[in-house]
Structure 1
Amino acid sequence: MSILEQFNQGRVPAERILRRGSHSCYAILHFGLNTFTGKEWGYGDEDPAIFNPAAFDAEQIVCACRDGGLSGIILVCKHHDGFCLWPTKTTPYNISRSPFRGGKGDLVREVADACRKYGIEMGFYVSPWDRNHPDYGTPAYLEVYQEQLREIYSGYGPAFEAWFDGANGGDGFYGGARETRRIDPSVYYDWGHTWKIVRDLRPEAVIFSDIGPDVRWPGNENGLAGREAFGSYTPHAPVAGKEPAPGFACCAEGENGHADGRFFIPPECDVPLRPGWFYHPEQDALLRSIPQLAQIYLRSVGCGGFLNLGIAPDRRGVLHENDVRRLREFRKMVEAFNSGNAAAMEFTLSAGEVAVEEFGREISFNLIDMAEDLSRGESVTGYAIEVRHNGEWKEVVSGKAVGLRRMKPLPETSGDALRFRLESACNSTAALTLVCRLVPGNLLQCDTANAGLLNREDYHELHPGEKKGMSLEWRFATPFSLHGFLFTPVPEHWAGTPDKFRFEILTGGTWRTVAEGEFANLRANPIPQQVLFPQASADGCRLTALHCLEPGEALVCGSFGLLID
C-alpha cells in the first residue's frame, strides 16, 4: 500500500475537507530569526539573542486576521534555520535561549491561546529541514523531528491543518559543521510514520504537502491554481519506479491536477501578502493590491482550492499598520465576491443533458459561481453555459472542472434564462448548484504582479553586465557609493540561475569580496533578491555564481541593480 493510500480514501473527499465549508481563506504566519536578519532562509548559525520582539502581541495579530476574514492561522513554529519558537526539549536552539520574556517565553502558546480566545482556528508548521541540528541528514535527526511534532500536536490544542512543505532536503548545514549534507527526500523522513503522528494526535487536521494527502501544493507561491484545476490528483515522483513524497514530486502537475486522478487532493494556494514571507522594512509599501488579491482569490478559492495568505509580524512583534489595513480591505473584497446574488439554480444531470433556469425577468451578472455535490467524488469534466437575451441563446462560459467551487468571471451579461449543458462527466450523473452574481467590476480587472521592489529611490539598475563564464562584471564611468544590490531571476529559466553567489567590488584596481551567500526559494518565489553589506565606494562590481539551480553555460540574470547611498 502506498503512503497516499494509507492517508487518503480516494476520489471521495474526506470529511475533514468538506467540513471546512466557507473557511476557504486562512493565514500562514512567518516570524523568527529571519525577521531580525533580513533573510528568507536563515543559515542556522544566527544567535538566538537577536530574537527579542519587545512588543510582541499575539492578540493584535490574531484580531487582525479575524478582522480580515481569515478563518485560521498556521504558525511557522520552526523554519529551516532550526530555531524553535517553543521551549522544546529536543534542541537547545529554541526560544528559551533568547531574551524573549526573559527566556521564559513560549510564542506558540501565546498564539494558540489568542486563537482560542478570538475564535480563530490554529494550524502548525514544523520544518523538516533543519540547518542547525548537528544530526541532520542522519537517522538520529528523524527521531528529533518526530518528537518535535509530538510536542506541538499534543501540547497546543486542536489543529485545523498540519503543514509540510517541499523545502526539506537543502544541502546547507551552517549551524556548526558548515558542510554539505545530502538526503534522499523520497525516504529520509519516513512520511508514513511521520504523518501518522499527526493523524493519531489530531485526526481533525488537514495535512498539506506537495502531494497531500489532504490538500496539495499547486507548484508555485503566487497563490494560483490552474483555471481548470481538478481537485482529483495523482502525484508522480520525478524518478520512475519511486514513490512521490514532499520534496520529491512533479510539483508542476499540482497546478491543474488530473480529471482521472486517483485521489481527491484539492490545491491549497500559498502566497505572501508582501513580496517575501518574512518581514522586511523595505517592503512596507509593497503589499499586494486588492486587484491582485482579487485575481488570486479567483485563481485559488475560485478554482476549487483554498487560499493560504502569508502574514509577517514586524520586529516589534505586531503586524504593521499597512498589513492590518490591507487585511480589512481583503475581507470586504471577499464579501463582495460572495454577495450580489442575481439568480440561483440546483440540478442533477447526466452527460449530454441540459438544465434550464427561467429567471422570469431580465437580470445582469458578471460572475458564475458553481459547486458540485462531491459525495460520490468529483464528476464534471466538461460543460458549457448559455444565456438567453432577446430570445436568442449565446454561450458565455465553458470549462472542464467544477469540484469544490468554480468561479467564472465574464463581461457583464444580461438575460432572462440560463442553460447549463453537461458535456462530459466521470460518474453517471453530476449534481450541482449554480449562482449568478453581479460583483463590482474592478474586482474582475487583471492587475500585474507587484514589481515595487525595483521602484525604490535607492535602486540604480545597471545595464546588462559583461558575461565572463559564470560571472557578470560591470565597470563604472564614475564611482558609486553602495550598500547592497538587487538580483532579479528569470522565472522558469533555472539553468544558470545562481542560488549561491559571491559579490565583489573593484576599488583602486583591486577586487574584494563584500558579500557571499545564497538566494533562497527562487523556484517557488522568484522575486528580486536583496543583499546588503557595509557601505563602500566602488569603480566596478562582479557577481559570480558559486552554484546554480540547474547547470548552465553562463550566469542568467533578469535584471541587476545597486542600492546606492
Structure 2
Amino acid sequence: MKKNLMIRVFAALLLLTTGVARAQQQSSLHQLQQQFVDLRFGMFIHFNIPTFMPDDWADPEASPAIFNPKKLDCNQWATAAKSANMTYGCLTTKHHSGFAIWDTKTTPYNVMNSPLKRDVVKEYTNAFRAKGLKVMLYYSILDTHHKIRPGQITKADIAMIKAQLTELLTNYGDITALIIDGWDAPWSRISYDDVPFGEIYGLIKKLQPNCLVMDLNAAKYPAEALFYTDIKSYEQGAGQHISTDNNKLPALSCLPINTAWFWKSDFPTTPVKTVDRLVNENIVPFNKAWCNFILNVAPNRDGLIDNNALEALKQIGKQWKNDGPVAPLPAYASPIISSNIAKFQPSNSSWSNDMNIMDFANDDSFRSTWQSNPNVKQPWFEVEFNKEQGFNMITITEDKVRIKKYRLEYNEDGEWKPLPQEGDHAGRVHIHRFPRVWGNKVRILIDDYTETPAIAEFGVYNEKR
C-alpha cells in the first residue's frame, strides 16, 4: 500500500514538474515578438515548382517531373546565409500553385513524386539548424492546383490545409515563425471566413505555442494595429512600405535580391541589388524601427545559389554586423484574430455625404469610408444584427485621426447601454476590449472632433479568451 502511494505521489509530482516546465518553455507573445525583431536579418528562399518555369505564378497543372534540382545543396544556402550575418531562413514549402516540397501524405502533388524524391523541407531545416540558424517556413493558403481559391473552398479543402500545417509543425522540429500568403489579400480574395482564421491560428498555436504567425496581409489592413497576424509584414515589391518614423509594431519587410522571387534564366548575368542599398536602405533603418528584414535569395534549377548572389551576401557580411537585440518593443494591443461579425451587416447613421454613406463603414474595405455631413454636430453610426450576438471587442478605424471624443453603446432588449471607454488607441485605430455583452445593435456617438469624422471600418468581435 505504501509503495503504491509513493508511486502515485511520484507520478503527481512528475506531472506537476512537467506542467511547470512546459509553462516555462512557452513564452509570452510579446517576448516572442521581441525575439523575432531581435533576429534583425534573414534569408527568404523561394524554391518550388515555379523555379523551373518562366513565371512566378506557375501553371497549376505543371508536372512534378520538371522539379529536378540535380545538385541540390541546402548546406550551401545555410553557409551563404551565415556569410551575410543572417540569423534565420524561411523556405517556400508550398507556393500558390500547390506543389509541396516535403514528404506529405495529403496529396500526390509533391516532391516525392518528382525526379528528386527527397524531402527538401527536411534537408533545409537540418542544414540551417546545423549552422545555428533559426528556421521559419512559408505556406500559401491559395492553392490553384487543388482548387483552393475563391468560391470553391470546401470542408475537405480546410481539412487538407490543417493536415498540411500539422505535418509541417510536427515533423520538422521547432519552427520560429510561419509566413502565410494568399489569404485575405485583395488579389487572392480568400477571406478569413472562407478559411477560418481563428481555427488555423488556434491549430498553429496548439501544435507549436512559440511559433509566430505572420500573414502577408499589409495590402489590406492598416499599419497601426495587428489585424490577423502576430507580426506586421510588408512586401516591398507590392508597394507595401513600412514607415520607419512612425512604426511601433513588431514588423517584417521582404525584398528579393534579384528582380523576381523565383529564379529566372537571366539571374546569373543580371546585377543583383547593391550591398549599400540592402544595408543602408533596408537592414539598418528597419532594425531601428522594430522591423526585421528578410532578403529573398532564389536557388537556381540545380538547387544552388548563383555566384553573383553569393558574392553579394559575403559583401553584406563584411559591411554589416549584427549588434544583437534591438530596442525594447513599445506597448501595443494584442492581435485581432476573431471574425468581424459586423461585416456586411445592416447599418445606419446620421446624415452623411452621398458618396460616403453608412455602408462603407463595415464593407470589409479600409479604402472606403462613411463620412458625416459637415452640418451634423453630433454624428453617430450603428450596426444592427438579425439576432442578439455576444461580443467583447470593438475596433474603430478612421481614415485619419479626426475624432477626439466618443461613446460606445449596445442595445439589449430595446435599451441602449454604455460600453467601457478605455481602450488602446494607435493613431487612427481604436481597439476596445471588455467583458462579453449581448445585444442586437452597436453604435458610436461622436461628441468632439477636429474635422468631419470619417470611419473606414467599424468592427465588432467575439474573441475567445
TM range (shorter): 0.5 to 0.7
* Aligned residue number for residue 504 of structure 1: none
Contact 1:26 1:308 in 2 (8 A): yes
Q: 1:72 aligns with which of 75, 79, 88?
A: 88
Distance 1:374 1:304, change over 3 A: closer
Per-residue CA shift, 1:51-106, capped at 9, x if unaligned? 11000001111111112111111110000010000121111110111100xx3x11
TM-score (norm 2): 0.58
* Aligned residue number for residue 126 of structure 1: 139
1:499-538 alignment to 2 at 5 Å? none
Contact 2:290 2:329 in 1 (8 A): no
Q: 2:242 aligns with which of 216, 220, 225?
A: 225
* Aligned residue number for residue 317 of structure 1: 303
Matched, 1:274 2:229: no
1 CA distance for matches of 2:52 and 2:233?
A: 28
* Aligned residue number for residue 159 of structure 1: 175
Q: How far is 1:219 from its partner?
A: 5.6
Contact 1:13 1:374 in 2 (8 A): no
Q: How far is 1:212 from its partner?
A: 4.8
Q: How far is 1:375 from its partner?
A: 7.1
* Aligned residue number for residue 230 of structure 2: 214
Distance 1:290 1:212, change over 3 A: farther
Distance 1:212 1:328, change over 3 A: farther
* Aligned residue number for residue 206 of structure 2: 200
Contact 1:86 1:96 in 2 (8 A): yes
Q: How far is 1:300 from its partner?
A: 2.1
* Aligned residue number for residue 149 of structure 1: 165
Per-residue CA shift, 1:7-34, capped at 9, x if unaligned? xxxxx97110122464111111111111
Q: How far is 1:195 from its partner?
A: 1.3
Q: How far is 1:281 from its partner?
A: 2.2
Contact 2:111 2:119 in 1 (8 A): yes
1 CA distance for matches of 2:111 and 2:311?
A: 30
Contact 2:64 2:114 in 1 (8 A): yes
Q: In structure 1, give the amino acid aligned to 2:272.
A: L
Contact 1:29 1:310 in 2 (8 A): yes
2 CA distance for matches of 1:160 and 1:122?
A: 6
Matched, 1:17 2:3: no
Q: How far is 1:114 from its partner?
A: 0.8
Distance 1:186 1:71, change over 3 A: same
Q: In structure 2, give the amino acid aligned to 1:226.
A: S
Distance 1:275 1:88, change over 3 A: same
Distance 1:57 1:152, change over 3 A: same
Distance 1:375 1:292, change over 3 A: closer
Query: Structure 1, unaligned stretches of length 5 or more?
Result: 1-11, 172-181, 232-264, 340-369, 379-425, 428-565
1 CA distance for matches of 2:283 and 2:300?
A: 25
* Aligned residue number for residue 287 of structure 1: 272
Distance 1:375 1:277, change over 3 A: closer
* Aligned residue number for residue 49 of structure 1: 65
Matched, 1:83 2:108: no
Q: How far is 1:170 from its partner?
A: 8.7
Q: In structure 2, give the amino acid aligned to 1:290.
A: V
* Aligned residue number for residue 319 of structure 2: 333
Q: In structure 2, give the amino acid aligned to 1:90.
A: T
Q: How far is 1:38 from its partner?
A: 1.7
Distance 1:121 1:374, change over 3 A: closer
2 CA distance for matches of 1:118 and 1:223?
A: 32
* Aligned residue number for residue 444 of structure 1: none
Matched, 1:138 2:165: no
Contact 1:223 1:270 in 2 (8 A): no
1:231-270 alignment to 2 at 5 Å? 231=248, 265-270=249-254
Distance 1:223 1:72, change over 3 A: farther
Q: How far is 1:169 from its partner?
A: 6.7
- Please identify which structure carries the higher strand content: 1
* Aligned residue number for residue 292 of structure 2: 306
Q: How far is 1:116 from its partner?
A: 1.8
Q: In structure 1, give the amino acid aligned to 2:210.
A: E
Contact 1:56 1:316 in 2 (8 A): yes
1 CA distance for matches of 2:37 and 2:186?
A: 36
Per-residue CA shift, 1:329-359, capped at 9, x if unaligned? 1122222x859xxxxxxxxxxxxxxxxxxxx
2 CA distance for matches of 1:308 and 1:217?
A: 10
Matched, 1:296 2:311: no
Per-residue CA shift, 1:377-410, capped at 9, x if unaligned? 59xxxxxxxxxxxxxxxxxxxxxxxxxxxxxxxx
Distance 1:212 1:74, change over 3 A: farther
2 CA distance for matches of 1:194 and 1:205?
A: 13
Q: How far is 1:41 from its partner?
A: 1.1
2:236 alignment partner, SS class: coil
Q: CA RMSD in A?
A: 2.8
Identity %: 23
2 CA distance for matches of 1:36 and 1:371?
A: 39
Q: How far is 1:168 from its partner?
A: 6.1
Contact 1:91 1:133 in 2 (8 A): no
Distance 1:21 1:92, change over 3 A: closer
Q: How many residues align?
A: 292
2 CA distance for matches of 1:291 and 1:135?
A: 41
1:318-397 alignment to 2 at 5 Å? 318-335=304-321, 373-374=328-329
2 CA distance for matches of 1:19 and 1:47?
A: 40
Distance 1:196 1:329, change over 3 A: same
Distance 1:63 1:287, change over 3 A: same
- Please identify which structure carries the higher helix content: 2
Q: In structure 1, give the amino acid aligned to 2:290.
A: G
Distance 1:305 1:48, change over 3 A: same
Contact 1:224 1:299 in 2 (8 A): no
Contact 1:224 1:296 in 2 (8 A): no
Per-residue CA shift, 1:116-137, capped at 9, x if unaligned? 2111111111210101014652
Contact 1:223 1:300 in 2 (8 A): no
Matched, 1:190 2:200: no
Per-residue CA shift, 1:438-497, capped at 9, x if unaligned? xxxxxxxxxxxxxxxxxxxxxxxxxxxxxxxxxxxxxxxxxxxxxxxxxxxxxxxxxxxx
1 CA distance for matches of 2:63 and 2:37?
A: 43
2 CA distance for matches of 1:13 and 1:120?
A: 21
Q: How far is 1:115 from its partner?
A: 1.5
Q: 2:128 aligns with which of 115, 120, 138?
A: 115
Q: In structure 2, give the amino acid aligned to 1:274.
A: N
2 CA distance for matches of 1:226 and 1:19?
A: 21
Q: In structure 2, give the amino acid aligned to 1:120.
A: L
Q: How far is 1:304 from its partner?
A: 2.3
